[in-house]
Structure 1
Amino acid sequence: MTDCMRTQLVSAIHLQEVELQDKPADKPADKPQNNSNGSNNNVDEKFTVEQAVEKIGFGRFHILLFVIMGSANIVEAMEIMLLAVVSPEIRCEWRLEDWQVALVSTMVFVGFMVCGVVAGYIADRYGRWKVVFGGYVWSAYFSLLTSFAPTYGWFIFLRSMVGCGVAGVSQGFVLKTEFIPAKYRAYLLPLGTIFWMTGSILIILLGMLVVPTMGWRWMIRLSITPSIILIFLFKFIPESARYNVSAGKVDAAVKTLQKIARMNRASLPPGRLAEPILKERGSWRILLSPSYRRTSLLLWYTWFVASFAYYGSVLSSSELLEKNLLCVINADKEHQVKHRHESGLCYCIPFANSDYQTLLISSLGEVALVPLNIVLLNVFGRKISLVVLQLLTAVMFMMVNICTTMFGFTVLLFLLRSLVSMNFNVVYIYTAEVYPTVARSLGMGFCTSFSRIGGMIAPFIAQVLMSQSVIQALTPFAVACVICALGNFLLPIETRGRALLQTS
């Protein structure tokens, strides 16, 4: 072996030793680098509230949410149906004309209309939870005071204050919607009708059992029980995480989402919650911006008609039964007593047990077609559902005038209540889905305020015009529904399966 070969061999051995020494040193250096990259990925990875809600999915929290927030519908339904049940009693006690009875319902909706916008603005600016809780307390307090009203004037003033409180309670629909994953909204939100029906049945049962023995004042006092119970249960419902992130309260939103995830035995997406702070919250300009102008205008009229038709059906049924204006083939003696005579008005025609039973059966109609409502929402979407339901409602209003048996009238009333209730369900869902978080409560507030205009007009048609002509009283409801159905073809946005937007 020559010196040259020996030198090359030594150099090769030395180079191999150097490489062996470098590799162990490189590996530890590589590992921290990889870990560092991994941690950086975790830090840089972000998720939104929408992604968190979808990742958590449906679970025990949503059952609790459904029960407690759904019970808000019980409060609202009892306060509204109370008007139909108490009308014959106050007419008799204070010798009220038709327009004075109608004014009671109108004043409730005046309070609702004025406070609806205010409640929506406060909910977008300062949180949904505060508004809903305040609504429970406010409506329960003034409803209790109503039972002590010494005069008709005090009665309508206090009922308008109750309407103001119910406007706050109605914001619970927004709070509930913001926690429900997109694919479950079309199933869970229509099922809330069960609670509305429960409220209607409770007030009718109270009227049947309490009014004949203890009077209408005790009926009102007992009717605030659900509100008092909900005041204590509401502490289990957190503030909306969507509102918290829009207001910059990210830590509060994370705690809420973590709590929900634990209850549902799920986990949050990897990374950190990060969404921009939205300073323009609760601004009416968003509702009339180019993106939402047509939607808002059409929705305002749709809500007007939804309320106009719903309360028209409720008050019409009550008025037809109280004044015995039905074209009934087999009328019994109780339904032969008329409100108007040549000698003057008959003020005291109390509900018979059969009248309460008819109202009960018609109230059951509000949930009878919920499966059909769910199918329409999931198969045809929100827009087509609105069109179909409004056209069918128009037809049903005209059919109520058909001369039939008492059983036939009950069936027609049952179907009418089903349709107007389904229509209200769809418009509630569509409104909560179409507006962004920064204006969702305000959008709902404006819509409910326009709906109360319909509620204010409905009593003067259903309770005043009805005495003159049944067909003339029912026709405006049918025409309004047809026009609304045509208008809903022009809604620019379909929200079926769409994520809730944070901003426009």
Structure 2
Amino acid sequence: MTGDEGPSYTVDDALVALGFGKFQILVLVYAGVGWVSEAMEMMLLSFVGPAVQALWNLSPHEESFITSAVFAGMLIGAYSWGVVSDRHGRRKGFLITATVTSIAGFLSAFAPNYILLIALRSVVGIGLGGGPVLSSWFLEFVPAPNRGTWMVIFSAFWTLGTIFEASLAWIVMPNLGWRWLLALSSLPTSFLLLFYKLTPESPRYLCLKGKTADAIEVLEKIARVNGRELPSGNLVSDHEIELQQIDNPSEDARLLSPRTNEIKHPLGMDSNLGGISSLSVLLSPKLARSTVLLWAVFFGNAFSYYGLVLLTTELNGHSKCVSHKLQTEKSQDVSYKSVFIASFAEIPGLLLSAVAVDKLGRKLSMSTMFFICCIFLLPLVFHLSEGLTTGLLFLARICITATFTIVYIYAPEMYPTSVRTTGVGIASSVGRIGGMICPLVAVGLVHGCHQTAAVLLFEIIVLLSGICVMFLPIETMGQELRDSVQV
């Protein structure tokens, strides 16, 4: 593009010119390992809860609270780290979260009692809340035409983590016990700390904060690694272009720019945005409807996803409502097998989302998968055989994995750079509330011989989530990322 001071280009223009190359692959691997470690820390809850219950004679509610404590920590962390990374940079955001997660995760393996285990797992949850920071960081390096496909590939690291954790538990739990599982599962996070100094800051974030020279330095590094050349001219942010268009509203600009019809006072540009300021931007007239509906979708998604993970062990372990200790012990091997099999449902779920996300769009893909999930869950209101139960949960998990994948693509695309990680972080926090409640349903109701009520509750939440997706006002497929909100 050209202006009064010669040719200029945006970060989006630069990323498209530089393409998706070796540099982005390295960023993908680094962020992906963080996603693997979060998936492992979440999946191990399916195995540690029953083991600790047997060891310390815990009630079903006390067992459920181990999982809920992690989600309570994530509720705090997802919001906090989002604000930190929007104010101080993506790199600082995931450095703190990786440090907290790795230390607390390793120490929880040595917890001498239930109270200390709860406390340490809560701290792990606070660290895990930083997951959206890594996904936003990676997203900001991806050219717009490739974004949907590569974000699905990024999500594959979560699937890799769940399968790896299920395999690890199957091997470690019968031979070494739950403490070893906790210790080994904390190791991948240390990888993030080991290679932290090599990670670049997001050029989009740097440009937004007025650090254009630093942004150009990162873009030049991408150009060298990818073997491409940057566009000629000066790097400018979308915000600068918008202000230029407002000051000089030429006829061509009015015809060609999709943003000139937006109202003219940008929100979310202050480099020192605090948590309250960021929240006010997210609930501003321009974003309020999207934000509230997205919160509902994240809640339903997390509730149903983690609920299905827990139901895989609980329905098979208590399908005849038998709570006798010997029966529970006999079903442990079956639980490992069922969770291991169900973990592979994420692979077709990812493939499905990869096909749908850039063809059907984000919204239609998500709503369709939610509604199909309802169909697969409905027969579980009855007590079925173990094989049929596992099969239906497998199919339902394919759908929920697809919606989970797509909502983590949609959310950061919907929000501007100025509040992107805060917006995704708060939405993720609301999802964690769903994660906190679902163990009480999946474990508590099934243990209490209320399987039908538990499954019907999942049905209602999944159905409502699909309806909320339909009312989201923006379809982000093929759209460039925005830097600021015009209200």
1:125 corresponds, among 73, 77, 87, to 87
- Answer with 1 or 2: which has the greater Rg: 1
Q: 1:350 and 1:217, CA in 2 relative to 1: closer, same or farther beyond 3 A?
A: farther
1:103 corresponds, among 41, 62, 65, to 65
Instruction: Return the offset for 1:434.
Output: 0.5
1:483 corresponds, among 459, 464, 474, to 464
- Paired amino acid for 1:501: R
CA–CA separation in structure 1 for the residues paired with 2:397 and 2:304: 9
**SS of 1:492's equivalent?**
coil
**SS of 1:192's equivalent?**
helix
Instruction: Return the offset for 1:227.
Output: 1.1
Residue 310 (str. 1) matches residue 302 (str. 2): no
Moved more, 81-90 or 280-289: 280-289
2:231 corresponds, among 240, 264, 269, to 269
Q: 2:319 aligns to what?
A: 325
Moved more, 258-267 or 274-283: 274-283
Q: 2:418 aligns to what?
A: 438
Note the alpha carbon deviations across 1:411-461, whole angstroms, 9 max, x for none: 222212211111111111110100000000110111011000000110000
CA–CA separation in structure 1 for the residues paired with 2:433 and 2:33: 25
Q: TM-score, normalised by structure 1?
A: 0.85
Gaps of 5+ in 2: 241-268
> Where in structure 2 are the equivalents of 1:456-475 lying within 5 Å?
456-467=436-447, 468-475=449-456
Instruction: Return the offset for 1:371.
Output: 2.6
CA–CA separation in structure 1 for the residues paired with 2:415 and 2:132: 16
RMSD: 2.0
**CA contact 2:313–2:338 (8 Å) conserved in 1:** no
CA–CA separation in structure 2 for the residues paired with 1:463 and 1:411: 20
Q: TM-score, normalised by structure 2?
A: 0.88
Residue 223 (str. 1) matches residue 178 (str. 2): no
Q: 1:12 aligns to what?
A: none
Instruction: Return the offset for 1:109.
Output: 0.6
> Where in structure 2 are the equivalents of 1:338-349 lying within 5 Å?
339-340=322-323, 349=329
Moved more, 93-102 or 42-51: 42-51
Residue 48 (str. 1) matches residue 10 (str. 2): yes
Moved more, 430-439 or 69-78: 69-78
1:502 corresponds, among 474, 478, 483, to 483
CA–CA separation in structure 2 for the residues paired with 1:55 and 1:325: 56
CA–CA separation in structure 2 for the residues paired with 1:417 and 1:72: 22
**SS of 1:262's equivalent?**
helix
Instruction: Return the offset for 1:223.
Output: 1.2
CA–CA separation in structure 2 for the residues paired with 1:145 and 1:170: 24
Q: 1:392 aligns to what?
A: 372
> Where in structure 2 are the equivalents of 1:184-263 lying within 5 Å?
184-263=146-225
**CA contact 1:438–1:502 (8 Å) conserved in 2:** yes
> Where in structure 2 are the equivalents of 1:352-371 lying within 5 Å?
352-371=332-351
Residue 298 (str. 1) matches residue 293 (str. 2): yes
Residue 417 (str. 1) matches residue 412 (str. 2): no
- Percent of paired sites with the same residue: 33
Instruction: Return the offset for 1:348.
Output: 5.8
Moved more, 272-281 or 345-354: 345-354
Note the alpha carbon deviations across 1:132-184, whole angstroms, 9 max, x for none: 12211110100111111111111111101000001123310000111111111
Instruction: Return the offset for 1:373.
Output: 1.1
**CA contact 1:52–1:268 (8 Å) conserved in 2:** yes
Q: 1:41 and 1:161, CA in 2 relative to 1: closer, same or farther beyond 3 A?
A: closer
Instruction: Return the offset for 1:237.
Output: 2.5
Instruction: Return the offset for 1:483.
Output: 1.3
CA–CA separation in structure 2 for the residues paired with 1:115 and 1:403: 38
Gaps of 5+ in 1: 1-39, 327-337
Q: 1:492 aligns to what?
A: 473
**CA contact 1:132–1:170 (8 Å) conserved in 2:** no
**CA contact 1:128–1:240 (8 Å) conserved in 2:** yes
1:289 corresponds, among 284, 297, 303, to 284
Aligned residues: 450
